[in-house]
Structure 1
Amino acid sequence: MKTTVLFLLAAATLAGAAGAAGAAPKLTPEQQLAKALEGRVAGKPVRCIDPRLNMNTQVIDGTAIVYGSGQTIYLQKPVNAQSLRNDVILVADMRGGGQLCNIDVVQLHDRINWWWRGFVSMNQFVPYTKVQPAG
């Protein structure tokens, strides 16, 4: 069964990030990724994730998509990642029975006019889990 799901990046998050950008220097994509993964360790890659449990989405320009929040997040470095921009809407054509999988294609659409901006093909998702402090 083919399911299409629309992943909308939170407007409040983007607005907050835009406001903060004026106060601090803008981080490079590599610095953004390092910050997102800070204090976490990589786990064994998985083929699919449940998008309902990983609605928080951070697009890192030309680099990656980070899904989720909390204890475990999932790093996606898709094929054609250079097409990624943090101001696009991700539209996933999910073929994995309601899960977002490494066989799926995600279309990129302009946030304002809904113009098609390209696509990325998913790879495996790498879970990153917070390191528990020694105690």
Structure 2
Amino acid sequence: MRLTCLLATAAALLAAAPTSAQRGYDPQARLDRLLAGRVAGAPVRCIPLRPNTRSEIVEGRAIVYREGRRFYVNRPTAGLEWLLRDSILVTRPVVGQLCRGEPVQLVDQPSRIQRGSVTLGDFVPYARP
């Protein structure tokens, strides 16, 4: 009986959990805010991966790599449906850099189960003028 009550409660909570759209998350608005005041440069094929490089997933749109004051926006060429903001990016760079055409695995943060992958496109640098 207790197990049934717990399962029913868990199901109700999951059903009531707001989706990204219900919480007001707008991926394009987020990307616009990140890039506000920055100017796009010529796309590059690869970027170096350094210890201070951070990344942020803009759901269904792009991966933004931050290296110091410069941002690199990568719009994957395949797998955008797996690009969810609560994912962990798993890369396996061969020579210390990420390049166009490389696969990036996406792992569900809470469960640590692989959910899919994307294929990287060109990296567009954005910097303040």
The count of corresponding residues between Structure 1 and Structure 2 is 106
Aligned partner of 1:121 in structure 2 is 119
Partner of residue 31 from structure 1, selected from 7, 25, 29: 29
Letter in 2 for 1:56: R
Alignment correspondent of 1:84:
83
SS in 1 for 2:43: coil
Alignment-derived partner of residue 7 in structure 1: none
Q: Percent of pairs identical after alignment?
A: 41
**1:116: Cα distance to partner?**
0.9
Give the conservation status (yes or no) of the 8 Å contact 1:33–1:60: yes
CA distance 1:34–1:54, shift in 2 (3 Å): farther
Does the residue aligned with 1:65 lie in a helix, a strand or coil? strand
Residue in 1 that maps onto 2:100: 102
Alpha-carbon contact 1:54-1:67 (below 8 Å) kept? no
Structure 2 gap ranges (5+): 1-22
> Any gaps of 5 or more consecutive residues in structure 1?
1-24
Letter aligned with residue 82 of structure 2: S
Paired residue type of 2:65: Y
Structure with larger Rg: 2
Q: Aligned partners of 2:41, 2:120: CA distance in 1, in Å?
A: 18
Q: Which residue of the partner structure matches residue 58 of structure 2?
A: 60
Return the alpha-carbon distance in structure 2 between the equivalents of residues 85 and 118 of structure 1.
10
1:121 positional shift:
0.2
- The one-letter code matched in structure 2 to 1:104 is E
Query: What is the identity, as a one-letter code, of the residue corresponding to 1:88?
Result: S
Q: Distance in 2 between matches of 1:44 and 1:73?
A: 13
Post-superposition, which runs of at least 4 consecutive aligned residues in structure 1 deviate over 2 A?
A: none
**Cα RMSD (Å):** 1.6
* Separation in structure 2 between the aligned mates of residue 45 and residue 32 of structure 1, nearest angstrom: 21
Residues 62-121 of structure 1, C-alpha deviation per residue, up to 9 Å, x if partnerless? Answer: 1100001542100000022221011111011324x1111112100001112211100000
Contact 2:57/2:63 (8 A) holds in 1 = yes
Contact 1:40/1:128, CA 8 A, preserved across alignment:
yes
